[in-house]
Structure 1
Amino acid sequence: MTTLVKYHALGNDYLVADPALGAPAPGVAATRVLCDRRTGVGADGVLYGPLPAPGAAAGPQETFDVRVFNSDGSECARNANGLRIFARYLSEHGRTDREEITLRTPGGDVSVRPGSPDTAATIDLGPWTHHSPATGDGAELIGVPLETEPGTTVHATAVHNGVPHLVALVDDATAELAARIGPGIVAYAGFTERPNVELLTVEDRRTLRIQIWERAVGYAPASGSGACAAACAAHRLGLTDSSVTVIMPGGTVAVEITEDERVLLSGPVSLVGRVTLADAFVSRLRAEPAR
């Protein structure tokens, strides 16, 4: 039997596809089938791992390899909520007994404290830059006016830590505004990288409110990485303190920017349940070549 485990974090739900439980390596079509909310299991993405690490000792470990796939089948370098979920999975399923572990991803190593059902899971996403998605030469984009449509200009700040983000400061971040201007920002002709978009409203120096439009999935009720990007942009613009609460339609998280400019994200993670897949369904997944 093939079993997947589903978790929820901050409006995002992910399926953990553990090779030890018979899960096949995801391909593009297989991931889309799994994540479909009517004909599949339903999720925002798939976390495939833990993958075998050369020379790893038996028993509880502190370093694990994982791959993160979006619901459209594209691979993500790393995802803050997904990695917090994966760390909690490892802890709750006896794969580690460490208070802090390292997750190795295509986007680099990250440190995560898995926490417990009664405490937050915290991820250290390291330092972020403000490199513009428009260039590859390291130029920064901070508080620059950007016309998103005729008559609508926002002040945009780029934030990058493996995935490009563009944070747009607005008077009132709403889902309607995100849907109206988000696609145009993602597809902006001057960008060589398509960024995720966060519309940011600063409530006070310790409270932010954001709406999100992601390059791969469109409107998103919440995003851990998006919350971090918004916090980094607001702090760089001098609008907030180093520790803030970020409010999204899908939930609320705490973001801290340390003195050495590392970004820590803390928030709840909860188990949804275990899913046993039918043999015919698994055969359909295995027919799609793994990536």
Structure 2
Amino acid sequence: MTTLLKYHTLGNDYLVADPELGAPSPGATATRVLCDRRTGIGADGVLYGPLPATRPTAGPADTFDVRVFNADGSECARNANGLRLFARYLREHGRTTQDEITLRTPGGAVNVRLGRPVTAPGTIDLGSWTHHSPALADGEELVGASLRLGPDTGLHVTAVHNGVPHLVSLVDDATPELAARIGPEIVAYPGFTERPNAELLTVEDRRTLRLQIWERGVGYAPASGSGACAAACAAYRLGLTDPSVTVVMPGGTVAVEITRDERVLLSGSSSYVGQIALAEEFVPHLRAELPR
């Protein structure tokens, strides 16, 4: 029997597909089938792992390998909300007893500190970031620059790359309607060599940010962990905020701290939704994309 588990945080929901529970490698088509909210289970993405090659390492933290897939089937290098959920899954289901673990993804390794009890907020260390523009092949930084999407739409943008490319735009009033209108244009901007996620940011004060998000491969997102970190990094670089801020999103609120050595820490809560046993008639849709 193929069993999946579902977790939720900040308006984002993810399925954990563990090979030890019979889950096949999800691939693009299988991920879309699973994440469809009408004909599948429904989710923003799939966390596949821990991968069979994973071995706990000596030291203060266990290490596990995981792959993250968006709902449209594309693979995500890193995902702050998803990885926090996956860390909780590992300890909640006996795969580790540690409070601190390391998760390795195609976008690099991140460290997660779990709360006690496991239902308490956890903290993920996303490491350092850069402001290199996804639009510029020469690697030039993009900080507070002008971007014109059309004759009537000009933005002040800052690029943030923390394993995933983001483009943070300062706006007077970040609303879902504004995100839906210009978010797709930012993601699809023809000059970009790598599609970024689009964050529309309103700075309320030096310790509070309000954020709306349009994600590549997802569309409108009520929340994003890495997006919240990108917004905090951009606002800090522009001198608009303190190193520690609260980021308010429609899906919930997180705390972001930029350390003295410019590492980014994200803290937030999560919840376990339930366990799903897939019907036999549904499983062939998934197994069609097992690795050759």
Range of TM-score over shorter length:
over 0.9
Who is 1:257 aligned against?
258
Matching of residue 278 in structure 1 with residue 279 in structure 2:
yes
Partners of 1:164 and 1:81 in 2: CA distance: 16
Matched residue of 1:176: which SS? helix
Partners of 2:144 and 2:138 in 1: CA distance: 19
Larger CA deviation: 135-144 vs 92-101: 135-144
Tell me, yes or no, if the aligned pair for 1:31 and 1:69 is still in contact at 8 Å. Answer: yes
Partners of 2:275 and 2:249 in 1: CA distance: 27
Tell me, yes or no, if the aligned pair for 2:130 and 2:160 is still in contact at 8 Å. Answer: yes
Tell me, yes or no, if the aligned pair for 2:54 and 2:65 is still in contact at 8 Å. Answer: no
Partners of 2:181 and 2:285 in 1: CA distance: 37
CA shift digits 1:45-82 (9 cap, x unpaired): 0000001236658xxx7110000001111111110000
Match of 2:148, as an amino acid? Answer: E
TM-score by length of 2: 0.96
Partners of 1:48 and 1:101 in 2: CA distance: 17
1:219-238 to structure 2, matched below 5 A, reads 219-238=220-239
Match of 1:112, as an amino acid? Answer: V
Larger CA deviation: 48-57 vs 179-188: 48-57
Structure 2: tracts of 5 or more residues without a match: none
Partners of 2:86 and 2:187 in 1: CA distance: 28
1:206-217 to structure 2, matched below 5 A, reads 206-217=207-218
Who is 1:51 aligned against?
51
Partners of 1:104 and 1:238 in 2: CA distance: 32
CA shift digits 1:112-150 (9 cap, x unpaired): 012245421110000010001112322100001112232
Tell me, yes or no, if the aligned pair for 2:24 and 2:290 is still in contact at 8 Å. Answer: no
Who is 1:120 aligned against?
121
Tell me, yes or no, if the aligned pair for 2:4 and 2:17 is still in contact at 8 Å. Answer: yes
Who is 2:240 aligned against?
239
Match of 1:119, as an amino acid? Answer: A
Who is 1:108 aligned against?
108
Matched residue of 1:190: which SS? coil
- In 2 relative to 1, CA 269–232 (structure 1 residues): closer, same or farther, beyond 3 Å? same
Tell me, yes or no, if the aligned pair for 1:174 and 1:211 is still in contact at 8 Å. Answer: yes
RMSD (CA atoms): 1.7
**How far did 1:151 drift?**
2.2
Partners of 2:40 and 2:148 in 1: CA distance: 40
Tell me, yes or no, if the aligned pair for 2:56 and 2:62 is still in contact at 8 Å. Answer: no
Matched residue of 2:110: which SS? strand
Structure 1: tracts of 5 or more residues without a match: none
Partners of 1:150 and 1:224 in 2: CA distance: 32
Match of 1:83, as an amino acid? Answer: L
Tell me, yes or no, if the aligned pair for 1:117 and 1:270 is still in contact at 8 Å. Answer: no
Partners of 1:56 and 1:258 in 2: CA distance: 28
CA shift digits 1:88-128 (9 cap, x unpaired): 00010011111100001101110001224542111000001
Partners of 2:100 and 2:56 in 1: CA distance: 17
Matched residue of 2:66: which SS? strand
TM-score by length of 1: 0.96
Work out the number of aligned pairs and report it: 290
Match of 2:185, as an amino acid? Answer: G
- In 2 relative to 1, CA 55–33 (structure 1 residues): closer, same or farther, beyond 3 Å? closer
Matched residue of 2:190: which SS? coil
Partners of 2:102 and 2:15 in 1: CA distance: 20
Partners of 2:290 and 2:65 in 1: CA distance: 20
1:124-143 to structure 2, matched below 5 A, reads 124-143=125-144
Matched residue of 2:69: which SS? strand
- In 2 relative to 1, CA 127–2 (structure 1 residues): closer, same or farther, beyond 3 Å? same
